[in-house]
Amino acid sequence: MIVGTAGHVDHGKTALIQALTGVATDRLKEEQARGLTIEAGYAYPEPPPDHPDVTLGFIDVPGHERFIANMLSGAAGIEAMLLVVAADDGIMPQTVEHARILELLGVTRAWVALTKTDRVEPARVDQVRGEIDDWLAATPFVGAPIFAVSSITGEGIAALGGTLWSTAAAVAPAAAEGGFRLAVDRVFVKRGAGVVVTGTVRAGRVSLGERVRLLPSGLDARVRGLRCQNREVTTARRGERCAINLSGSDIERGRLERGEWVVGSGSRIADRQRLDVDLRLLPEASSLRHWTRVHLHHASAHVTGRVSLLEGETLTPGASALGQLVLDEPLQAAHGDSIVLRDHGAQHTLGGARVLDVAPPRRGARKPERLAWLATLRRLPAEGAASARLERLWTRAEAPQGLDLEALATNFDLELDAVRDAALDAGWRVIASGTARQALTAGRLAELETLVKARLAEIHSQEPAMRGVEIDRLRRMSVPGLPVALFRPLLETWKDGGEIVQRGPFIALAGHSAALGERDAERWRAVRPLLEASPFEPPRVRDIATAFGWDEVETRRLLREVALLGELYQLRRDHYFLTETVVRFAAWIRELDALSPDGATAAAFRDRVGCGRKLAVAILEFFDRIGFTRRIGDGHRVIRDDMLFD
């Protein structure tokens, strides 16, 4: 368990840690000279005899308001808060701000050390104790035990230490699944070893000899050495303070800095400049308007950016809302990460944000379906391993278009196979096509099949002359949110049932037979002899309309529907050719292509057909357009002999 101090400057945090552990955490000469903590310090005491296998670490953060950024960097790895309040001063501004920051970072376990009791009368100790209890009642730390202590006399130190060790012994080790991530809060060079980075392992595990990457620098490295809680180890895991000795041709101290991440070689963590988040404004903060510029602290990183509110234009004190962080520089985040927001002048803590989606779409951020998905992610537990949070998703998600497993794996920084297996274990069906994976419930799959069949029946009724519906048109009309690459595997499944069939590029119900209406069929019987009489130079559409005294628009519609039935081809806007004529054209093009090294030229084809050059060119261009031939020089070469024609 990692315990972090919190509290106002000069309230005795560092002295308390030394009394508890025997370690002086102020390591910098400037800190020692001024008696003021500037950078976070660390202490790892030896376990007592009654808890020999328990690990307890302390992070001592600076209390001065000028070093709040350093405090936030150190606070990134804190699992429990030791709030320090001096009995003579009582609750002070940084007492409140530090406690609020740890609250925003998701810390819920806390103790209060009421220090410097040797300087005041017992009545003052009781008074401050009551003030602390009253104040904590309005925070998640309500009821936190209060220990009256003195680092000078030793009063209460043993009792506080015993409680901390007992609690650490009862805390279950954090699950170490998912990709390895460590937020770097310190970089230094150790003689004989090289570059060392320290931080708290946020997820996964890492072992000696493994390859890792550093972000955002993108450098590759190897784990040369590992220390956890000041001990040499072979593996470090989630929740542990860790020092990693890195080796690599590009690893130099000047190229690494606080705010960097060390991640596993297979990690999905990447630079993100937009993050969809669950925003929460502190009760004592001012209202936050849409597009407000802020400072953002994520683990040990610090950037600036703007807050885009997705629900309304203003967030009031104490309220929560969905929002998007638009960053000036990228962060490397995963679902569930906590971010602290401070005002643009970096003077006050405004609130916090919990990351919901690391790769939001560029458009449609406020669409109802998008907000509904973010609301689903918001309802997942804030704590726990990524796999445990994702497990809850399968029981809560309302996903009519299914869930993109690749996107989920990226958001939670998990392996795709692990996400797929979790979906299957939860009873979902996984549709795969190439690298795409989409999970849908069995019930939703049945609904989609019913919906597609209903759409087909509707289209057949409206367009009886059509052989069916193009695949992508059917997808857009029934499940527009599902990629076409995943719609095709679903169609294959439904076709196995026999009620849906595919006819070339068209999908239809098995019982559907394309046919003209009675009136159109009668008209087509009248038109066909005209085309048969002059198959190579058929009459134009307007000539056919004039010959029968029909409306030209209606005549064009009739010929278009006959073409859909496969009896005609439209080679030009006003020219429809019988299918058997087009088949003959294709055969002649094959012959001419085989006879000449130039392919079928317009002149040769004109002579073979016995038509004008202009029409011959139009016919050859039609075959180019549909991909049967390709023009090369003056000729047209057959490139898809198996495409349409026998």
The answer, yes or no, to whether residue 646 has pLDDT greater than 60, is no
> For 19-33, 37-51, 566-580, 597-611, which range has the lowest pLDDT when averaged over its residues?
19-33
Q: Within 10 Å of residue 545's Cβ, how many Cβ atoms?
A: 20
Q: What is the pTM of this model?
A: 0.77
The answer, yes or no, to whether residue 340 has pLDDT greater than 60, is yes
Give dist(CA 299, CA 260) in Å, integer: 10
- pLDDT on residue 504: 67
The CATH number of 518-646 is 1.10.10.10
Cis check: omega of the bond before 47, within 30 degrees of 0: no
Residue spans per domain, the chain: 2-170, 181-264, 442-509, 518-646
- pLDDT on residue 183: 93
Q: What is the DSSP letter of 258?
A: T
* Inter-residue contact 390 to 377 (CB < 8 Å): no
Tell me if domain 2-170 and domain 181-264 are identical in fold: no
The answer, yes or no, to whether residue 253 has pLDDT greater than 90, is no
- pLDDT on residue 642: 59
| Residue with more model confidence, 76 or 197 | 197
The answer, yes or no, to whether residue 387 has pLDDT greater than 90, is no
- pLDDT on residue 255: 85
Paired tokens of 525: 């019987």
Alpha carbon 477 to chain centroid, angstroms: 27
Closest CA to 332 of 211, 217, 409: 217
Task: Render pLDDT for 606-630 as a digit per residue (tens, 0 to 9).
Answer: 999 988 899 899 999 999 988 889 9
The CATH number of 181-264 is 2.40.30.10
Cα within 13 Å of Cα(645), Cβ side? 22
Q: Give, rounded to a whole angstrom, the gap between the first and last alpha carbons of the chain.
A: 76
Closest CA to 575 of 513, 619, 526, 522: 619
Contacts 24+ apart (CB under 8 A), 571-576: 571/618, 571/619, 571/622, 572/618, 572/622, 574/540, 574/541, 574/542, 575/538, 575/540, 575/541, 575/615, 575/618, 576/531, 576/538, 576/541
- pLDDT on residue 35: 67
Task: Render pLDDT for 193-220 as a digit per residue (tens, 0 to 9).
Answer: 889 999 989 888 999 999 999 999 999 9
Q: Which amino acid is at 546?
A: T
Give dist(CA 182, CA 261) in Å, integer: 6
The CATH number of 2-170 is 3.40.50.300
Closest CA to 275 of 318, 300, 310: 310
The CATH number of 442-509 is 1.10.10.10
* Inter-residue contact 636 to 600 (CB < 8 Å): yes
The answer, yes or no, to whether residue 62 has pLDDT greater than 90, is no
